Amino acid sequence: MTNVDVIIAGAGIWGSTLARRFAESGRKVLVLEKRRQVGGNVRCETDAETGIEIHSYGSHIFHTSLPEVWKFINRFTTFNGYQHKVLARYKGKTYFLPLGLTLVNSFFGVELTPAELPAFMADEAHSSAIFDAFFRGYTSKQWGRAPEEVDPSIIKRVPVRATYDVNYFNDYCQGIPLDGYNSIFEKLLDHSNITVRCDAGVRLENGAFKVDADDLPRVPLYYSGPVDALFDYRHGVLPWRTLKFETEKLDIADYQGTSVVNYTEAEVPYTRIHEFKHYHPELKDIMAKPKTIVMREYSAEWKLGDEPYYPIDTAQSRELLAAYKAEAEKIPNLILGGRLGAYKYFDMDKSIESALKIDIGE
Ligand SMILES: Cc1cc2nc3c(=O)[nH]c(=O)nc-3n(C[C@H](O)[C@H](O)[C@H](O)COP(=O)(O)OP(=O)(O)OC[C@H]3O[C@@H](n4cnc5c(N)ncnc54)[C@H](O)[C@@H]3O)c2cc1C
């Protein structure tokens, strides 16, 4: 472990982007990853029988409007042009999200024009009906609150599209990597200046960073694991929501005709069903096979040991985070980042952007 200029703890998209930048600037980089494989939550598994790419930590669609991020990621993959659409199933009927002309017109059986939509939605009866059908139950499941606790005023903050555009994201660059998400990480980390070790969780002991019993070289360390874990939860545990996934292989070519359907009623225990083959419409052989893989997603209360997915923003969690940040500032050569280190939800493009913005002294 000698001859190392920089250590990156965590080989998710944030750590891998940073590792690549350091390597290309001539520095020797040691990447230490706690899990058995690199890729963080973007990691996928390919089902051997069907060839379907399963997004192990929930559906991931790359989307961005940041030109520098798009340029960077396209050095390591080519995207298939997939445009994300999300449907919502409510009381046995299927609707297109997000909230816009398509949803409102089909839900109320009307034919509003773009100019008529704002006034229609300003009517309390209409906005309440939409809120009850598509937001109340879903939000209560997502955040573990009773439906009556979900604040109806959130509907006022949900953007309404006065168009028939059902593209889920507003970003003009979108897609799924043609050769799969894992290959991005293989390429990002494939550099003569990068050494990767998996099964190598970094911890802090008496002011020194360690992996197993070994002391790490005292060089700058960029840490993208959970910030509270690094300090052994001494101020308390930062709260998260977790997800549970139930994956099933079915003997039919197509289960739901699209990649994601949200189930918006509180009575349906899962929040959405993912059907992964729809992310790769270009793979005609896989599409035609009489088999598909679906994954039901359940949102659940998180406890230590569960996978952390969504940080819970409260006054108390902000206070805890500030205490951990203050601790981190006292450790020389420690830089926190990524979604776990920053305790912040980032889409992949924002994670890359944050890693691209770090001053690495080129
Ligand atoms: C359900 C869900 C769906 C999402 N869908 C999308 C989407 O469609 N599009 C999109 O752009 N973004 C999506 N995201 C966001 C995306 O997952 C994140 O942007 C991305 O994973 C962040 O990368 P990261 O490197 O910061 O963190 P991570 O991917 O979490 O990587 C951190 C890595 O650090 C490792 N680690 C932890 N502790 C240690 C330690 N002590 N030592 C060494 N290694 C350690 C972890 O094992 C992990 O590999 C989604 C997120 C969720 C929760």
* Ligand 1 atom closest to the CA of 43, numbered from 1: 29
Can you give the pLDDT at residue 148?
83
Task: Write the DSSP string, 90-115.
Answer: ETTEEEE-SSBHHHHHHHHT----TT
Find the 293 Cα to ligand 1 centroid distance in Å.
23
Alpha-carbon distance of 248 to 289, in angstroms, equals: 16
Q: What are phi and psi of 201, to 5 degrees?
A: -75, 130
DSSP letter assigned to residue 52: P
Q: Which residues line ligand 1 (CB under 6 A)?
A: 9-15, 32-35, 40-42, 58-62, 201-202, 224-225, 243, 309, 338-340, 346-349, 351
Per-domain boundaries in the chain:
6-38+189-236+311-357, 44-97+166-176+240-301, 100-161
Domain boundaries 6-38+189-236+311-357, CATH class: alpha beta
| pLDDT tier at 154, thresholds 50, 70, 90 | confident
pLDDT (tens digit per residue) in 315-346: 999 999 999 999 999 999 999 999 999 999 99
Give the helix, strand, coil percentages of the chain, each rounded to 5: 30, 25, 45
Among residues 43, 136, 272, 339, the one annotated as catalytic is: 272
Is there a catalytic annotation at residue 89?
no
Find the 269 Cα to ligand 1 centroid distance in Å.
25
* Ligand 1 atom closest to the CA of 63, numbered from 1: 11
Rounded to 10 deg, the angle between the 13-24 and 348-357 helix axes is 30
**Nearest alpha carbon, ligand 1 atom 53:** 309
| pLDDT tier at 149, thresholds 50, 70, 90 | confident
Find the 1 Cα to ligand 1 centroid distance in Å.
26
Question: Encoding tokens for residue 5?
Answer: 């200029």
Find the 30 Cα to ligand 1 centroid distance in Å.
19
pLDDT (tens digit per residue) in 280-322: 999 999 999 999 999 999 999 999 999 999 999 999 999 999 9
Nearest CA-CA partner of 338 in 320, 323, 350, 322: 350
Is there a catalytic annotation at residue 241?
yes
| pLDDT tier at 10, thresholds 50, 70, 90 | very high
Task: Write the DSSP string, 245-266.
Answer: EEEEEESSS-SSSSSEEEE--T
pLDDT (tens digit per residue) in 110-119: 999 999 999 9
Can you give the pLDDT at residue 166?
96
Single pTM value for the model: 0.96
| pLDDT tier at 2, thresholds 50, 70, 90 | low
Can you give the pLDDT at residue 153?
81
Rounded to 10 deg, the angle between the 181-188 and 13-24 helix axes is 30
Q: How many CA atoms does the CB half-sphere of 355 hold within 13 Å?
A: 29
What is the average pLDDT score of the chain?
Answer: 96
Mean predicted confidence (pLDDT) in 209-228: 95
Is there a catalytic annotation at residue 329?
no
Is there a catalytic annotation at residue 234?
no
